[in-house]
């Protein structure tokens, strides 16, 4: 811009297409450098794919209403205590205990359900809740996880959490 506020002599960098540089080749070059020097880890790409898979409009999201890491009072001398989680979606409640041995939980009100443990780079684990709503898996999540519950005609998905 010249001293009269006119951009005719030289292109104004603030205006679209008026700058002395074209940003598209620079952006492409930076993306290529980032892909080589700091590539996105495969497990992070898989998490993104899993998160996108939750975009199902028919699924209700269960809100985390209790997390023992945040809400419970600390106990002196307690080590390796299980993490207790409670999720709520309308009248449906899901209680989950996370330990080094796996997940134990219950769907309330008690009912059979098909449950998928979604997580990291490995495919999700399928579980079945019995008629009392109880479910169990012998392997703990290896990173961030979410649960997808199929109860009757309803699909409920929990928030993603780190184990």
Domain CATH for 74: 2.60.40
* Tokens describing residue 135: 């479910």
Whether 151 is covered by a domain: the verdict is yes
Which pLDDT belongs to residue 101? 92
The mean per-residue pLDDT over the stretch 34-51 comes to 83
Q: What is the rounded distance in angstroms from the CA atom of residue 111 to the CA atom of residue 128?
A: 10
Whether 4 is covered by a domain: the verdict is no
Q: How confident is the model at residue 119 (pLDDT cuts 50, 70, 90)?
A: confident
**Number of structural domains in the chain:** 1
The mean per-residue pLDDT over the stretch 18-43 comes to 82
Whether 134 is covered by a domain: the verdict is yes
The mean per-residue pLDDT over the stretch 62-78 comes to 81
* Neighbouring residues of 56: CB distance < 8 A, sequence distance ≥ 6: 155, 157
**Range from 76-80, 87-91, 133-137 carrying the lowest mean pLDDT:** 76-80
CB 160 within 8 A of CB 144: yes
pTM: 0.63
Q: How confident is the model at residue 55 (pLDDT cuts 50, 70, 90)?
A: low
Whether 37 is covered by a domain: the verdict is no
Helix and strand numbers (H, E) in the chain are: 3, 10
Q: Please, what is the average pLDDT of the chain?
A: 82
* Neighbouring residues of 103: CB distance < 8 A, sequence distance ≥ 6: 96, 97, 117, 135, 136, 137, 140, 141
Q: How confident is the model at residue 34 (pLDDT cuts 50, 70, 90)?
A: confident
Q: What is the rounded distance in angstroms from the CA atom of residue 113 to the CA atom of residue 129?
A: 5
Which pLDDT belongs to residue 156? 92
Q: How confident is the model at residue 16 (pLDDT cuts 50, 70, 90)?
A: low
Whether 141 is covered by a domain: the verdict is yes
* pLDDT for residue 30 is more than 60: yes
Phi, psi values for residue 138, rounded to 5°: -90, 5
Structural domain boundaries, residue 82: 49-162
Which pLDDT belongs to residue 48? 79
> Measuring CA to CA, which residue among 110, 114, 68, 69 is closest to residue 92?
110
CB 42 within 8 A of CB 50: no
Whether 150 is covered by a domain: the verdict is yes
> Measuring CA to CA, which residue among 73, 76, 94 is closest to residue 85?
94
Whether 43 is covered by a domain: the verdict is no
Which pLDDT belongs to residue 40? 86
């Amino acid at each position: 811009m010249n001293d009269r506020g006119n951009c005719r002599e030289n292109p104004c960098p603030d205006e679209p297409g008026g700058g002395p540089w074209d940003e598209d080749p620079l952006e492409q070059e930076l993306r290529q450098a980032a892909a080589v020097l700091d590539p996105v880890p495969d497990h992070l790409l898989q998490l993104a794919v899993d998160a996108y898979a939750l975009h199902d409009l028919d699924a209700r999201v269960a809100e985390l209403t209790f997390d023992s890491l945040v809400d419970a009072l600390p106990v002196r001398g307690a080590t390796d205590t299980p993490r207790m989680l409670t999720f709520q979606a309308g009248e449906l409640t899901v209680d989950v205990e996370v330990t080094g041995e796996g997940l134990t939980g219950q769907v309330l009100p008690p009912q059979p359900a098909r449950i998928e443990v979604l997580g990291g780079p490995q495919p999700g684990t399928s579980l079945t809740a019995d008629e009392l709503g109880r479910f169990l898996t012998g392997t703990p999540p290896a990173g961030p996880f979410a649960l997808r519950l199929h109860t009757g005609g309803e699909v409920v998905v929990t928030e993603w959490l780190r184990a």
